[in-house]
Amino acid sequence: MVTYQAAKEEEGLRSLDQLPLGYECEIHSVDHRSASAVRLSYLGFLPGQILRLARVAPLGDPIAVDLGGQRIGLRKIEAQAVQIGKWRKSDGHCG
């Protein structure tokens, strides 16, 4: 039996919590089953948007991403609901 996460990984998708520091990516989708899905969409986490992982707390949670000219703090559990495509090293500018 293939899990939801395993099926996404086969498509080349990963969750935002797996993005390395200083890399940017395109948002593929937000898991609508997440309790934070509506909040994330209001903040701009929409398919096709480019974001960059800007900061990670010393113990790994929370993280901060740059998206649409704003810096947004997320808990790892919230970041797991955001599916991203391939990532690349950022030049420091996002969006």
How far is 51 from 3, CA to CA, in rounded Å? 26
Handedness of CA 26, 89, 61, 6 (dihedral sign): positive
The pTM of the full predicted model, rounded to 2 decimals, is 0.81
Q: Edge-to-edge strands of the sheet including 82-89?
A: 14-15, 82-89, 23-30, 50-56, 63-67, 70-74
- pLDDT-derived band at 8 (thresholds 50, 70, 90) equals low
How far is 14 from 20, CA to CA, in rounded Å? 12
Per the structure block, which two tokens stand in for 20? 């390395």
| 19-74 confidence digits (pLDDT tens) | 999 999 999 999 999 889 999 999 999 999 999 999 999 998 999 999 999 999 99
Q: Which CATH architecture has domain 4-89?
A: Roll (2.30)
